[in-house]
């Protein structure tokens, strides 16, 4: 477990020029009175925004470490539906929260707690979308992952519809995954690097259990799974067990941000079929090998994850008249 002192000074620092390069690919609508997101956006208007969010994240991490993968997943789900605009946080009978893939999300209370404190320190200044982006980074750091400067200045979206939720599926082929990521201006390397965030993730048994018992109605497990891995998962997710029971995606290194998840794919120990495909496909396999230091040129996994996270966090952000600053994250003003 990483200590709280592992933030900026002791984490892996992503150089500002890489953030600016990622920013250049963001899909935002220019607006003359509100610059696109940038590092240090709030300045004196809310000089302690990052320390306030970090303090809330730390207390909630030590109370419940499961908040780390929960918030990271929430940020991903937010960015992949109408961009990184905090729309995942809105309540409503047909909001994004109600979509099946989002019903198991956790950590909404963390974002709301940070928002409450920020409304006291600097009212109607910091967006919920920015809070979520900061919280995702800070939770990653607490699990031993990299630190990176988060560009700020997103606005909160006003639309949140379950019907808009179309997220990557656990059975997606590499070709489908590439299409989904390309639609968000993320390339194949970003796909593999961001999937590596599963190193701290968990998944409900109902999402993948058929793969370990009755793959494609064959009555047998997926033949690409390591035979020694099958009974291990079957014992945690019995055929008639609770579909909501959660299993770590990185057995042997649960809750720690490292390359163990990627290494498991080498040996057929990927829980999700979509993850295992990343090793079976030649193009994505070469990226996994570079992240593991098995193929030249090497890709340092920490800085690469930081770069791709910063890039993703700028997906279709709302600026100018496209959004607002909410006073509470669960409702539009």
Please give the annotated binding residues, written as ranges: 78, 81, 83, 85, 87, 96, 168, 198-199, 250, 258
Active-site annotation holds for 10: no
Q: Could you give the maximum distance between any two Cα atoms of the chain, in Å?
A: 62
Torsional sign, CA 295, 301, 307, 311: positive
Whole-angstrom CA distances from 111 to 201, 278, 287, 311 are 19, 32, 33, 21
Q: If you write DSSP's letter for every residue of 240-296 in order, what string do you get?
A: TS-TT-EEESSTTSTT--SSHHHHHHHTT--SSHHHHHHHHSHHHHHHHHHHTTSSS
**How far is it, in rounded angstroms, from Cα 251 to Cα 238?**
17
**Which residues contribute to the annotated binding site for heme b?**
198
Active-site pick, 54, 75, 77, 82:
77
Q: Cβ atoms within 10 A of the Cβ of 40, count?
A: 12
**Which residues contribute to the annotated binding site for Ca(2+)?**
78, 81, 83, 85, 87, 96, 199, 250, 258
Reading the block at residue 280, the tokens are 């079976």
Q: In 3-state terms, what secondary structure has residue 202?
A: strand
Q: What is the CA radius of gyration of the chain?
A: 19
**Which residues contribute to the annotated binding site for substrate?**
168
**How far is it, in rounded angstroms, from Cα 89 to Cα 327?**
12
Q: Do 71 and 207 contact (CB within 8 A), yes or no?
A: no
Residue 90's Cα: distance from chain center in Å? 18
Residues belonging to the active site: 77
């Amino acid at each position: 477990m990483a200590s709280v002192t592992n933030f900026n000074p002791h984490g892996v620092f992503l150089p500002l020029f890489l953030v600016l390069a990622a920013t250049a690919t963001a899909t935002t609508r220019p607006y003359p009175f509100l610059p696109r997101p940038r590092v240090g956006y709030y300045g004196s208007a809310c000089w302690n925004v990052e320390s306030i969010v970090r303090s809330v994240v730390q207390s909630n991490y030590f109370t419940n470490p499961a908040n780390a993968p929960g918030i990271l997943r929430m940020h991903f789900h937010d960015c992949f539906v109408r961009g990184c605009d905090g729309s995942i946080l809105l309540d409503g009978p047909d909001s994004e929260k109600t979509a099946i893939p989002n019903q198991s999300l956790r950590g909404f209370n963390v974002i709301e707690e940070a928002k409450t404190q920020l409304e006291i320190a600097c009212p109607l200044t910091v967006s919920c979308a920015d809070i979520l982006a900061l919280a995702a980074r800070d939770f990653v750091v607490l699990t031993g992952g990299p630190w990176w400067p988060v560009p700020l200045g997103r606005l909160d979206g006003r639309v949140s519809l379950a019907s808009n939720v179309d997220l990557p599926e656990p059975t997606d082929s590499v070709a489908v995954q590439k299409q989904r990521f390309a639609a968000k201006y993320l390339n194949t390397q970003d796909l593999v690097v961001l999937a590596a965030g599963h190193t701290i993730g968990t998944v409900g048994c109902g999402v993948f259990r058929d793969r370990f018992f009755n793959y494609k109605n064959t009555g047998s497990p997926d033949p690409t799974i390591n035979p020694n891995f099958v009974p291990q998962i079957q014992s945690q997710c019995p055929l008639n067990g609770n579909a909501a029971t959660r299993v770590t995606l990185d057995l042997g290194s649960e809750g720690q941000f490292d390359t163990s998840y990627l290494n498991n794919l080498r040996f057929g120990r990927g829980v999700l079929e979509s993850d295992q495909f990343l090793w079976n496909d030649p193009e994505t396999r070469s990226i996994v090998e570079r992240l593991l230091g098995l193929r030249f040129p090497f890709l340092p996994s920490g800085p690469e994850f930081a770069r791709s996270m910063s890039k993703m966090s700028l997906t279709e952000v709302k600026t100018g008249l496209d959004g607002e600053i909410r006073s509470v994250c669960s409702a539009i003003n």
